[in-house]
Amino acid sequence: MKELYAVIGDPIAQSMSPAMHNDLFQLYKINAHYHALRVESVNLADAVKGLKAVGISGFNVTIPHKVAIMPLLDEVDPLAKSIGAVNTVKNENGRLIGYNTDGSGYLKGLYADLPSPGNKKTLIIGAGGAARAIYFTMAHEGVKSIDIANRTPEKAETLRLECPYEVETEVLSLNQAEENLGDYDLIIQTTSIGMAPALESEPLKLHNLKSDAFVSDIIYNPLQTKFLRHAAEKGAKTQNGLNMFVYQGALAFEKWTGIFPDVERMKQTVMKQLGGSIC
């Protein structure tokens, strides 16, 4: 019988995860199928019980369930617990264990493009769920100093205070970050600013950007935000959010199957799905 995998969320119709994982199951000759399942928030507890009852092998969790799912699982791994969100669940001998591969996927995808990650003065823009996963994971991996700029600096301060791993952090307003941008070698844009359809917005101006900085934006629709375009025009190396999406999926696939998959092929699958409608 085919093994069962899924992604649960609401909405879910646009998810690119089924195409990505089903292609990998075929590639590695694994007799499994990955479904997109729309689960409304009121039904989340019943859905998790049902998935466990039918013996699902693993599933991804997306908006709006990444936080709400935590108490419904048998166990949550410590990093996911500190991030406060689960995006990957594995059925281990009948017990559903929650993980977070968003931050680790981001970092693996970043390091794939960043030649020498050590000693980079780093700025994260944003203090929402994605920023939290990236900031905590970077601190967990031993990055020594990471500053955070946010429209609401209090939220960045909360992230700083709640981080259970040792890291030096200064909190900045977006204006302060704009002024001091020349201090940073690595800038990570984690807000939704610039995502389709609001293509003309950007979180801050890049006048003071160092020309040898590396600028990463977790948005992949569009593939090049206005922010990234301006960074590239200033001579910076840039990276869009495709790596984070693909690597979080690759790490989930590895947790489920023990195989770290072909990420270039995964990127191609996603690009095909994005088709002509990347805006």
Under the rule (CB under 6 A), what is the footprint of ligand ATR? 126-131, 150-152, 155, 190-193, 203
How far apart are CB 264 and ligand ATR at their closest, in Å? 26
- Closer residue to ligand ATR in complex, CB, 84/117: 84
- Closer residue to ligand ATR in complex, CB, 33/151: 151
How far apart are CB 58 and ligand ATR at their closest, in Å? 23
Catalytic residue flag (residue 226): no
Chain residue whose CB lies nearest ligand ATR: 128
Residues 6+ apart with CB under 8 A from 170: 147, 148
Tokens 């890049």 -> residue: 206
Handedness of CA 124, 130, 134, 135 (dihedral sign): positive
- Closer residue to ligand ATR in complex, CB, 30/85: 85
Helices 129-140 + 102-113 axis angle, to 10? 70
- Closer residue to ligand ATR in complex, CB, 30/215: 215
- Closer residue to ligand ATR in complex, CB, 169/191: 191
Q: What are the distances in angstroms from CA 136 to CA 83, 126, 132, 153?
A: 7, 13, 6, 17
**Torsion angles phi and psi, residue 251, rounded to 5:** -70, -35
Q: What are the distances in angstroms from CA 277 to CA 100, 218, 223, 244?
A: 29, 18, 11, 20
How far apart are CB 206 and ligand ATR at their closest, in Å? 15
How far apart are CB 29 and ligand ATR at their closest, in Å? 35
- Closer residue to ligand ATR in complex, CB, 24/110: 110
For residue 210, the one-letter residue type is K
Tokens of 1: 């019988």
Q: In what order do the strands lie in the sheet with 214-217?
A: 171-172, 146-149, 122-125, 186-189, 214-217, 237-239
Which of 49, 52, 66, 210 is an active site residue?
A: 66
How far apart are CB 189 and ligand ATR at their closest, in Å? 10
How far apart are CB 126 and ligand ATR at their closest, in Å? 4
DSSP string of 127-184? -SHHHHHHHHHHHHTT--BEEEE-SSHHHHHHHHHH--S--B--EE-HHHHHHTGGG-
Tokens of 178: 């704009």
Tokens of 42: 């009121």
Residues annotated as catalytic are 66
